[in-house]
Chain A
């Protein structure tokens, strides 16, 4: 069974860069034709897609966040990562990593999520 686990700091200061890692077990991020994505959810609010990376390394980002988002993958560690720069309080959210389905049309497997608070 595929499992995803987010890791990273729970508290980050404004203007700094958030770095999160998603560790995948039960499957390889470099096998198959899958996209791997990041989604976030501010407290009490809805879901927002941040960006996704294809197994080949191609990346796609939400236009509203594009200039601040970097997604990368480390196949040797079976991990993919999110960097989000120039943080503000509005970036406080639970951050989820997920795997798309083979057709990339939806999110099939999700991590449990990690809360990131942006505060000085």
Chain B
């Protein structure tokens, strides 16, 4: 099975900061990686799919990059609404796996 490892687990940042979260796959997944944002008590919300495609309606300050085994989610100019937990998710051969999550906290 493909394992997904996110880093860091927790990130403290201020409004206006540029934030980067990394997700590493245990083997190559091409570009089949998605990013989600989850707030307490809510379902995850899709932000990025196919590593770098921005979901409709998601602010352009969110961007994704990478391929193979290493991927990043970048949030430019962090906004108050962005404090949440972020998960990566891979797809490979009819198996879907999530990373353990990165909580973005207010510094």
A residues near B (Cβ < 8 Å) are 37, 39, 46-49, 52, 60, 62-63, 96, 101, 104-108, 110-113
CB-contact partner of A112 in B32, B34, B43, B101, under 8 A:
B43
Q: Is the CB of B91 within 8 A of A104?
A: yes
Give how many B residues have a beta carbon under 8 Å from the other chain's beta carbons: 23
Determine the chain B residues whose CB is within 8 A of the CB of A96 once the complex forms.
Answer: 43-44
Q: Is the CB of A110 within 8 A of B49?
A: no
15 A–B contacts from the bound complex (CB under 8 Å):
A46-B98, A47-B36, A47-B38, A47-B87, A47-B89, A49-B98, A60-B94, A60-B95, A96-B44, A104-B94, A106-B34, A106-B49, A106-B89, A107-B89, A111-B43
Q: Is the CB of A107 within 8 A of B94?
A: no
CB-contact partner of B87 in A46, A62, A101, A105, under 8 A:
A46
